[in-house]
């Protein structure tokens, strides 16, 4: 009889112990992020999640490709580094299953230079560095068009490339680079149009040209708000909802406004 009791106890432990392990794992939220400002913003949310019993694990990425691939492969619970048009572009090209679970902040693209202090100092034939990914390249070109430097074909909108330039009064040359390489390009190019997160991580904010920035109150700002992206079907899970609640808190809003001084704008 005692032997049967020991066998029953062993079977009970074998069943219950794995269950405890999986429950603990459910309290860990693994999020991929760019170093600045995304990982920094997540760090500000971490204590709030700890109060709710969650451990936030932040995985930093230095490019725009791996965070989506990792999320689409379910190696992450979420990522936070991109705007929705970029995410949709990934879904279309890679058959991705990602969706935006929350809209957090806007990073206005701006022009930066180490050699000029205003746009009219650009010389004929100067090189301008721009992002080479589809959506951010179009944003950069539309910003330059808004400043009167170029004119794009009618209707190209957010699919614009340098091939769509129909007027280029200063015969500007365009160097298309991965977004993370743009801060370093300022050593060679007369000007670069850079995403705020890479301008921050590359320590080039002080080289921003005054007034050459996307309008913060525009529809474009809403469209290019950076999102917390998740794998489709997980957006209503307890851990994702806990993550969103923490990031959209008053504490995190105050952190963003204080730390970034307008280079990053909370949109919640």
CATH of the domain at 130: 3.40.190.10
Separation of CA 4 from chain center? 58
Range of the domain at 82: 29-108+222-266
pLDDT of 268 above 60: yes
Q: What's the pTM? A: 0.71
Q: Are residues 75 and 171 in the same domain?
A: no
Domain shared by 83 and 124, yes or no: no
Q: What is the pLDDT of residue 221?
A: 87
Residue 136, classed as helix, strand or coil, is helix
Model confidence at 82: pLDDT above 80: yes
Separation CA 161–CA 174 (nearest Å): 10
Whether the Cβ atoms of residue 29 and residue 77 lie closer than 8 Å to each other: yes
Q: What is the rounded distance in angstroms from the CA atom of residue 265 to the CA atom of residue 268?
A: 9
With b meaning 16 or more CB within 10 Å and e meaning fewer, what string describes 32-44? bbbbbbbbbbbeb
| pLDDT of residue 21 exceeding 80 | no
- Asked if residue 21 is part of any domain, the answer here is no
pLDDT at 197: 82
Same domain for 38 and 89, yes or no, is yes
- Give residue-wise pLDDT tens across range 165-196: 999 999 999 999 999 999 999 999 999 999 88
For residue 12, pLDDT beyond 60: no
Same domain, 49 and 129: no
Residue whose token pair is 């589809």: 134
pLDDT grade for 70, boundaries at 50, 70 and 90? very high
Please tell me whether residues 141 and 73 are part of one structural domain.
no
Is residue 256 pLDDT above 60, yes or no? yes
Task: Give the pLDDT of residue 81.
Answer: 96
Q: What is the pLDDT of residue 53?
A: 98
Instruction: Supply the mean pLDDT for the chain.
Output: 90
State whether 114 and 158 are in the same domain. yes
- Over residues 76-88, the mean pLDDT reads 96
Specify the number of domains making up the chain.
2
Same domain, residue pair 116 and 103: no
In a domain, residue 15? The reply is no
pLDDT surpasses 60 at 15:
no
């Amino acid at each position: 009889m005692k032997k049967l009791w020991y066998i029953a106890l062993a079977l009970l432990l074998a069943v219950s112990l794995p269950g405890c392990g999986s429950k603990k794992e459910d309290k860990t939220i693994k999020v991929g992020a760019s170093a600045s400002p995304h990982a920094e913003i997540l760090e500000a949310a971490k204590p709030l999640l700890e109060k709710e019993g969650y451990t936030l694990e932040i995985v930093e990425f230095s490019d725009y490709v791996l965070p989506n691939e990792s999320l689409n492969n379910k190696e992450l619970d979420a990522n936070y580094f991109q705007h929705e048009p970029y995410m949709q572009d990934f879904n279309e090209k890679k058959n991705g299953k990602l969706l935006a679970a929350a809209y957090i902040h806007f990073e206005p693209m701006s022009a930066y230079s180490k050699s000029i202090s205003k746009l009219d100092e650009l010389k004929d034939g100067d090189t301008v560095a721009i992002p080479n990914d589809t959506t951010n390249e179009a944003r950069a070109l539309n910003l330059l068009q808004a400043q009167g430097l170029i004119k794009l074909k009618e209707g190209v909108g957010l699919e614009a490339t340098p091939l769509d330039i129909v007027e280029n009064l200063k015969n500007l040359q365009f160097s298309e680079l991965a977004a993370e390489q743009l801060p370093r390009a300022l050593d060679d190019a007369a000007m670069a149009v850079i995403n705020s997160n890479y301008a921050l991580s590359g320590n080039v904010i002080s080289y921003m040209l005054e007034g050459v920035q996307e309008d913060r109150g525009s529809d474009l700002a809403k469209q290019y708000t950076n999102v917390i992206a998740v794998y489709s079907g997980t957006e209503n899970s307890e851990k994702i909802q806990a993550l969103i609640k923490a990031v959209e808190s008053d504490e995190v809003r105050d952190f963003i406004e204080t730390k970034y001084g307008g280079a990053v704008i909370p949109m919640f």
